[in-house]
Amino acid sequence: DLHMYVRKAVVEMGELIVDMQKALIETAEKYSDVIMPGYTHLQRAQPVLFGHHMMAYFSMLERDFDRLLMVFKHADIMPLGAGALAGSTYGIDQTYTQKLLGFSRIYENSMDAVSDRDYVVEFLSFASLVMMHLSRLSEELILWSTNEFNFIELDDAHCTGSSIMPQKKNPDVCELVRGKTGRTYGHLLGLLTTLKGLPLTYNKDMQEDKEGIFDAIDTVHFALSINAAMVRGMKVNGAHMKAVLDDDFSNATDMADYLAKKGIPFREAHEIVGNAVHHCIEKGCVLLDLSVEDFKAISDHFDADILDAISIEACVAGRNNYSGTAPECVERQRNNGKAVIAGEEKQIAQWKAIVESVQA
């Protein structure tokens, strides 16, 4: 029963992942021209396309879907016929039962059949990883929706008001997803701890596998479905994102790259740009506020094209290597993502055919 239950759960999880991936591609396309700050150490680092950021989560979910392949493979083994541990003396036809229940294989060893909970652990591992990915997205949505960031506005359907402060719009759904992630981790660690000291074959401890996987399935179902709706419903404040970039030093790396391409060792270019940034901070301006003459005063390696080279649009467009953030690269990511989804939907159809082959 648990093997069959997990198989059905894999189909459901696969469908939810695909819908979430579709939501990410739709959002990346909707805001394809929006440029936002990219961060390291939660400090503004370099400008990226908003769609590039969204497609990063697509890739995470693609790996999550791949993990389901192994879960289904290991759940799709029939344990019937193993008896309590040693098999049966009744001459049963396990192959016939296998066909009726739609299993691809039969356990080779009856003791392994009784003892095996690997497929449950693997499902909980999948659940923990997908929840970790959704929790990271939730954290970013929480930050971006604050007044301090003001990058996005979440739909009212996924927020609540404060119990005491009338002006508040709290991202409660994001916080719930983030909180339930630890709960999912607990189910994985709990079952691993339960199994680690068990001798072969059956021990009553093993009934503790049920509560965790039932709850994990419900939790991941909630998290994936609500995140897909949340991503589709949010509004992106692209104008404010661009204004933020126009007023900071996210283009400093491109300024150093400009010098490095002229043959200056990068360590020297780094120092030159660092001094320029320090100069701007003292003057209360940013690099784009400097004139060509200002740049030439900093270093005679700067030419008239420096302002074009460090424009925010140029910083994004210049990163056109295969995995970069340039518009053509992100468009390729979206198109490849659609092909990935087509393959995933084909796999789900194959899983469904197996699950639905069970005969009453």
Q: What is the pLDDT of residue 309?
A: 95
Task: Give domain 2-244+323-355's CATH number out of 1.20.200.10, 2.120.10.30, 3.20.20.150, 1.10.3720.10.
Answer: 1.20.200.10
Q: How many CB atoms lie within 10 A of CB 29?
A: 13
Angle of helix 172-195 versus helix 209-233 axis, rounded to 10: 160
Reported confidence tier of residue 163, pLDDT bands at 50, 70, 90: confident
* Distant-in-sequence, close-in-space partners of 227: CB < 8 Å, separation ≥ 6: 20, 23, 134, 137, 138, 177
Read off the DSSP letter of residue 160.
B
Q: Identify the three-state secondary structure at position 296.
A: helix
Q: Is residue 41 among the annotated active site residues?
A: yes
Q: How far apart are CA 281 and CA 283, in angstroms?
A: 5
Q: What is the pLDDT of residue 166?
A: 82
Q: What is the pLDDT of residue 170?
A: 92
Q: Which residue has the higher pLDDT, 162 or 117?
A: 117
Tens-place pLDDT, residues 137-146? 999 999 999 9
Q: End-to-end CA distance of the chain, in Å?
A: 14
The percentage of the chain sitting over the pLDDT mark of 90, rounded to a whole number, equals 96
Q: What is the pLDDT of residue 151?
A: 97
What's the residue count for the chain? 360
Reported confidence tier of residue 246, pLDDT bands at 50, 70, 90: very high
Cβ atoms of 256 and 273 closer than 8 Å = yes
Q: What is the pLDDT of residue 360?
A: 65
Dihedral pair phi/psi, residue 151, rounded to 5°: -85, -35
Whether 8 has a pLDDT exceeding 70, the answer reads: yes
Average pLDDT over residues 310-338: 97
Q: Is residue 163 among the annotated active site residues?
A: no
Average pLDDT over residues 56-67: 98
Average pLDDT over residues 296-309: 93
Q: Where are the domains of the chain?
A: 2-244+323-355, 252-310
Report the predicted TM-score, pTM, of the whole model to 2 decimal places.
Answer: 0.94
Q: Which residues pair with 38 in a beta bridge?
A: 46
Tens-place pLDDT, residues 197-224? 999 999 999 999 999 999 999 999 999 9
φ/ψ region of 46 (left if φ > 0, alpha if ψ in -120 to 50, else beta) reads beta
Closest CA to 209 of 72, 104, 80, 116: 116
Whether 320 has a pLDDT exceeding 70, the answer reads: yes
CATH topology of domain 252-310: Ribonucleotide Reductase Protein R1; domain 1 (1.10.40)
Average pLDDT of the chain to the nearest whole number:
96
Cβ atoms of 259 and 46 closer than 8 Å = no
Whether 333 has a pLDDT exceeding 70, the answer reads: yes
Q: Which residues pair with 170 in a beta bridge?
A: 160
Q: What is the pLDDT of residue 173?
A: 94
Catalytic residue among 104, 162, 291, 357: 162
